[in-house]
Amino acid sequence: GGLHEMTRWQGPMLTDSGGYQVFSLSGMNKVTEEGCSFRNHVDGKNELLTPERSMRIQHNLGADIVMQLDDVPELPTTPEREADTMRRSIRWLDRCVDALPEKSAQGKRQHLFGIVQGGVTRELRQESATELVKRDLPGYAIGGLSVGETKRQMEEVLGFVTPLLPENKPRYLMGVGYPEDMLQAIGLGVDMFDCVLPTRSARHSLVFTSRGRLRIRNAKHARDKHPLDADCGCYTCANYSRGYIRHLLMAGEMLGMTLLSIHNLYFYTSLMRRAREAILQGSYADFAGEWLPRVSGAAE
């Protein structure tokens, strides 16, 4: 039944190719034209992830959107390495296209997205985007960002790359991020995001609110009877106080992190819903101008 059946989630689902996960095993991996070889950190077994194997795995998982296997360079890197990984990613994309069946193992159509690479070099990004658009894919991702470059560099790359991609296809920024980065990227033409930040932050007691970020472990919240965010409609804010959630965290109770995860995810989805409504109303610039200062700093 795939992941939809296993999790009972009937909404859209995206799976990554495994390329970034191999990249994160720095010192334990090796990339060749065939694929990514690495040592499994769980049992020490040597593995080889090829474009074909990545497609086979994602085919069986049954996700609605599947990502190509790409070669992700570490930053900083050399121009030669940057160009080599970008062009290898294009060759791997063609192998992914050939390997992915028309329908998933569950009989549904799957949508393969290509990933624009090229680091912070305009010429390489343009070459990558041009080659991907030639393949007329269902959607396009912008990868290789949020991996060590500055925020200014990320904005410059997005401002250059997004106009090269079709307006009638989803444009997906991978691995980003903070609310302010997402709002900036939307203004530059990005449609989709993924990031572990809402739940990772919850595990570290960081809360996103409409008035900025809270460190809920701080002693000043010990007897605070207010919700995390007075303007939030999530389950956590409707039922629990800052003081009680802090108590759960200090006591090592998993419920504390769960409640923060619920809130952070609700905050992110609500922010994106508001952004979408502002776009439809033609008022996104005003919306971003109001919300960027609110989400960028610490709450009072």
Number of neighbouring beta carbons within 10 Å of residue 78:
10
Where do runs of H (alpha helix) occur along 62-100?
79-99
Separation between Cα atoms, residue 137 and residue 112, nearest integer Å = 7
Q: Is 229 a catalytic residue?
A: no
Task: Based on the residue annotation, tell me whether 16 is a catalytic residue of this protein.
Answer: yes
- Longest Cα–Cα distance of the chain, Å, equals 60
Angle between helices 254-280 and 284-296 (to 10 degrees): 160
Between the CA of residue 169 and those of 91, 134, 140, 165, what are the distances in Å? 22, 13, 7, 8
DSSP sequence for 278-292 = HHHTT-HHHHHHHHH
Choose the catalytic residue: 16, 70, 71, 191.
16
Identify the three-state secondary structure at position 57. Answer: helix
Q: CB neighbours (10 Å) of residue 216?
A: 25
List of E strands, 132-170: 139-142
Which DSSP category does 123 fall into? Answer: H
The catalytically annotated residue of 84, 94, 194, 224 is: 194
In total, the chain counts a number of residues equal to: 300
d(CA 38, CA 46): 6
Spatial separation of the C-alpha atoms in residues 20 and 17, rounded to whole Å: 8
* Interatomic CA distance for residues 170 and 177, integer angstroms: 18
Which residues form the catalytic set?
16, 194
